[in-house]
Structure 1
């Protein structure tokens, strides 16, 4: 009961918000001082699309830019996610409404090849519905509209334009009505509405009162206007794919709205609450929690009850010297002389388990930080940065675990073991990432990381993580080898012929079903956050799922391991790892289903990138779940063979 209440407490942790940044206070120019800003900076970020995996920088589409202003410093996570935050020529003054202002004018002529190239990019961006992402006071500029379900949806991005297909179809966020078929409409005019919490009556606003405030929302409406004076009855800027010349003026209006109903600390709520299907989280998690806890309880009861009877029977047989006919061993005790026989390819297994321990601890620490709000959506790139830093600093547990198991297996090539632990699994991830980065670089995507970032990653790997792995391995090899509770026979026992259900492959395939069933609902939201560019902030739920996944992997692997031992099959080392790690195979299959049913990706490059990134995630999940199952089974077998009496 206490555990159930603890799980419910964790699932409620999804509303903590620790921005990590002090609020910015703005005021009119007449009352401005060092603590109160007048100018509101507007930053632009990368452009992305749900129909393509390739994000692009703002300047890729030849929008209005500034050259002489420095860009904000980006952390490692932002760079890896392809975020490229740049200053914009859009400058606002607090509480100063602007009716119409021309920012710049772009003209594309048929005689200029470079201009035609930019025009083709613009048209392709409208076909794929690329979204702009702007930032005001560390808040996303949102576009709010009624979706197909007639509910208000606030998107953190807004489209660069609208393409009306040959059949007259448009995207959901397109506000063009009665548009011509096979025509492009550029959204060159932006109407900004900035809501603020007034400083009147607040302790932080005593010096300026209603002449100052804190920004709590930034919304935009897009339109296509041919007029440079922002006339509402102006014709839209429209052209077809065969056009050779076009002129586009970029204009904007801005208005300020007082809204004291929203506090600065809760200003993200209207964005997060409008995310589609977030209400499903409560029902799905509670439903999964009840089912999994019920199944886990049944598995635990069956195992404990069965094992208790087995152990009591075995010990009673040994103690009773008058029952010579009953001394013939049967069941899992029969293989006590072979159950701790070293596995084939023990070095590889120890390397995988060591890296799995590193990933397990890293994910746990990252989730805990996220649950307490340190990795909220306002802290851009913090989640990835935290994960990488934790992974690098946790090289010592990886080396220690790998060394302990390798020494127990009787391995003597410790140098190779340490190098494999430090290089093999990270090398697989880095190799896939390097290939994907080449593809991104060839396509001019902003997700292609710079050379300096590559150098930084290599430095973290070889100059920080690898020495820590060596340190952990040194500590592991320095200790005595783990002592098994029973002796291993010199001659291996022959394994009897197994039935279909006790053969390794069926058990491995079945072993991943229940763990995957615990996480597949959360996987939908996680994949949405990655590929549909939505915010994910249910880290309390995710921590609950994380705990459930660990319990389910452990109990499922223990249960299947027990059945195989009862069938006198003592080759459990690799099977325990592969049983729970098969969850990753189901994840990969689900990713294929998600790609086919949810995404609208059609080009080969995006498809290659999608499955490349999916392969990386699959490998990480493979190491994580496999390690959990292996360690649980290792503990279980040592426990049961340490409490029975062996002749």
Structure 2
């Protein structure tokens, strides 16, 4: 009775926060619709171009404020009010000196003149040698480009040239009164050389050009244009291969569980009925899963913890709250020390803490109270033996480690390809838009996990081992197979390991544990 009550309490504590999450999904949908629809302009209306951040091309987790470099900036830097998601993404948008007006072309207009000191020239050279790119934002559309140009040729003698792009050509596509797409290019312009600067100082003039082009795409489809444009490396387009692979696995498992397992159970029932009609002594002549029917409903060890795992999931406490906080602390400290925009401000940290304290925790308590008051009594379908039956020795392929290996590998193999795209979005620069495929993969994951749990539990019970409670969770909750496919940072610097590998592995562990 106490176990059932705790199970109901945990289940309700799991459901109530998810009701709150559903409301936030609606708010997220509204925000995404605002992003897709964009703003409406009239000819001649000013279009604000925000400068955002810069960073190395091959390390998406290392970004800095754009105005950290010696570039053209207004006398008073005014930042855009950012949403929580933009802050978490490392955005630091600020207004710029670019004067862009809707559907009005601009031909090589001067932006500003700078006199760079020797230290500023070296700073720009170092940024260009590390392949720094910049990110601007125009009507919620990101625009990327490289800060400068670097050319290396020959071995003996070795040639090393570094140049700064001082002219940007903005190409903006529109449809009616909406902006569809925007990018920047440096065509037909030569970079200003930063090699062997005489006197240590360098005077440069930054200019820009704006060209408007009509687009056949509607504003509702402008996300397709952004998806097809590739400034960063594209990931492998094998989504459908992942779906086919996972579907084949589901069909095989369902066939095994439904056809083979049902046939085995049918034969078992037929054998048991014959033995009962012959009045055989069940305890002496019988064997298999039916002989332990008076033991399978016995309360397990640590039943309260088991109910918590089934209900709300102890992984949210043990795998998310503590290790994730420690991982974030280390990564955020590294970002703070390096001055990166990936470091969360103190106000954002306090806001996230307030959301958990004022919303998440109270809803969990309310759900627990509701579950406690509505819990029913546990009524086993048969009487439980007072003395537990002795468990016979099991063959090696029925041990817990073998079941965890099989139960962890098959569900993980069903989602491994899709996890590649998710990680490319979370830790890289990809834009994930195929949510329909993600929903199908999630359904496949649930199907595979359920089939594996049923099959492995039957094999355990057929061996007269009634300790199925924890084994049913550990079988498909194993995280053994999450590490090997994702240890792809052996040669990365220590800072990159902290910024990318540690949180990456934490997300892998939690994702697979959800199986």
For normalisation by structure 2, the TM-score amounts to 0.83
State which of 195, 214, 237 in structure 2 corresponds to 1:258.
Answer: 214
In terms of mean alpha carbon deviation, does 270-279 or 101-110 score higher?
A: 270-279
Q: Structure 1 residue 607: deviation in Å?
A: 0.9
Match of 1:43 in 2: 50
C-alpha separation between the residues in 2 aligned to 1:356 and 1:46?
38
Match of 2:185 in 1: 221
Q: Structure 1 residue 278: deviation in Å?
A: 6.3
| 1:263-320 deviation line (CA, Å, top 9, x unaligned) | 22222223323564665323432343244324333333222222233244335544x2
| 1:389-444 deviation line (CA, Å, top 9, x unaligned) | xxxxxxxxxxxxxxxxxxxxxxxxxxxxxxxx6x8843333332233222221221
| 1:65-102 deviation line (CA, Å, top 9, x unaligned) | 33646433322222222122222221212232222122
C-alpha separation between the residues in 1 aligned to 2:122 and 2:397?
59
Query: Aligned pair in 2 of structure 1 residues 234, 73: CA closer, same or farther (>3 Å)?
Result: closer
Query: Aligned pair in 2 of structure 1 residues 133, 350: CA closer, same or farther (>3 Å)?
Result: farther
State which of 100, 104, 107 in structure 1 corresponds to 2:115.
Answer: 107
Q: Structure 1 residue 23: deviation in Å?
A: 4.5
The 5 Å alignment of 1:484-563 reads 484-563=380-459
C-alpha separation between the residues in 1 aligned to 2:251 and 2:145?
43
The DSSP-based 3-state class of the residue aligned with 1:465 is: helix
Q: Structure 1 residue 218: deviation in Å?
A: 1.1
Give the aligned CA root-mean-square deviation in angstroms.
3.1
The 5 Å alignment of 1:568-647 reads 568-582=464-478, 584-593=479-488, 595=489, 602-625=492-515
Match of 1:181 in 2: 159
Q: Structure 1 residue 327: deviation in Å?
A: 6.5
Query: Aligned pair in 2 of structure 1 residues 56, 457: CA closer, same or farther (>3 Å)?
Result: same
C-alpha separation between the residues in 1 aligned to 2:221 and 2:171?
18
Query: Aligned pair in 2 of structure 1 residues 324, 265: CA closer, same or farther (>3 Å)?
Result: closer
C-alpha separation between the residues in 1 aligned to 2:332 and 2:191?
42
Residues 352, 623 of structure 1: 8 Å contact kept: no
Q: Structure 1 residue 241: deviation in Å?
A: 11
Match of 1:381 in 2: none
Query: Aligned pair in 2 of structure 1 residues 561, 325: CA closer, same or farther (>3 Å)?
Result: closer
Match of 1:164 in 2: 151
Residues 245, 414 of structure 2: 8 Å contact kept: no
C-alpha separation between the residues in 2 aligned to 1:164 and 1:234?
13
Query: Aligned pair in 2 of structure 1 residues 70, 236: CA closer, same or farther (>3 Å)?
Result: closer
State which of 263, 267, 276 in structure 1 corresponds to 2:222.
Answer: 267
Match of 1:24 in 2: 39
| 1:85-123 deviation line (CA, Å, top 9, x unaligned) | 22222121223222212223343324xxxxx2x555534
Q: Structure 1 residue 549: deviation in Å?
A: 0.5
Query: Aligned pair in 2 of structure 1 residues 219, 622: CA closer, same or farther (>3 Å)?
Result: closer
Match of 1:450 in 2: 345
State which of 195, 214, 239 in structure 1 corresponds to 2:173.
Answer: 195
Residues 411, 445 of structure 2: 8 Å contact kept: yes
The DSSP-based 3-state class of the residue aligned with 1:253 is: strand
C-alpha separation between the residues in 1 aligned to 2:345 and 2:134?
22
Query: Aligned pair in 2 of structure 1 residues 99, 514: CA closer, same or farther (>3 Å)?
Result: same
Structure number with greater CO (CA < 8 Å, separation at least 6) is 2
Gapped runs of 5+ residues in structure 2?
1-30
- 1:310 equivalent to 2:268? Answer yes
Residues 315, 513 of structure 2: 8 Å contact kept: no
Match of 2:65 in 1: 57
State which of 125, 128, 148 in structure 1 corresponds to 2:127.
Answer: 125
Match of 1:322 in 2: 279
C-alpha separation between the residues in 2 aligned to 1:590 and 1:234?
44
The DSSP-based 3-state class of the residue aligned with 1:20 is: helix
C-alpha separation between the residues in 2 aligned to 1:589 and 1:134?
37
Query: Aligned pair in 2 of structure 1 residues 167, 466: CA closer, same or farther (>3 Å)?
Result: farther
Query: Aligned pair in 2 of structure 1 residues 25, 461: CA closer, same or farther (>3 Å)?
Result: closer
C-alpha separation between the residues in 2 aligned to 1:289 and 1:233?
52
Q: Structure 1 residue 49: deviation in Å?
A: 4.0
Match of 2:16 in 1: none
C-alpha separation between the residues in 2 aligned to 1:94 and 1:27?
7
Q: Structure 1 residue 242: deviation in Å?
A: 12
Counting matched residue pairs gives 478
C-alpha separation between the residues in 1 aligned to 2:429 and 2:456?
39
Residues 355, 623 of structure 1: 8 Å contact kept: no
State which of 320, 341, 345 in structure 1 corresponds to 2:298.
Answer: 341
Q: Structure 1 residue 18: deviation in Å?
A: 6.5
C-alpha separation between the residues in 2 aligned to 1:325 and 1:82?
68
C-alpha separation between the residues in 2 aligned to 1:298 and 1:242?
77
For normalisation by structure 1, the TM-score amounts to 0.67
Query: Aligned pair in 2 of structure 1 residues 502, 241: CA closer, same or farther (>3 Å)?
Result: farther
Residues 110, 206 of structure 2: 8 Å contact kept: yes
| 1:155-199 deviation line (CA, Å, top 9, x unaligned) | xx222223334658xxxxxxxxxxx8333222232111112224x
The runs of 4+ residues in structure 1 deviating greater than 6 Å are 240-243
Gapped runs of 5+ residues in structure 1?
1-16, 30-37, 111-115, 142-156, 169-179, 199-212, 224-231, 360-420, 626-647
C-alpha separation between the residues in 2 aligned to 1:339 and 1:504?
17
Query: Aligned pair in 2 of structure 1 residues 465, 108: CA closer, same or farther (>3 Å)?
Result: same
The DSSP-based 3-state class of the residue aligned with 2:86 is: helix
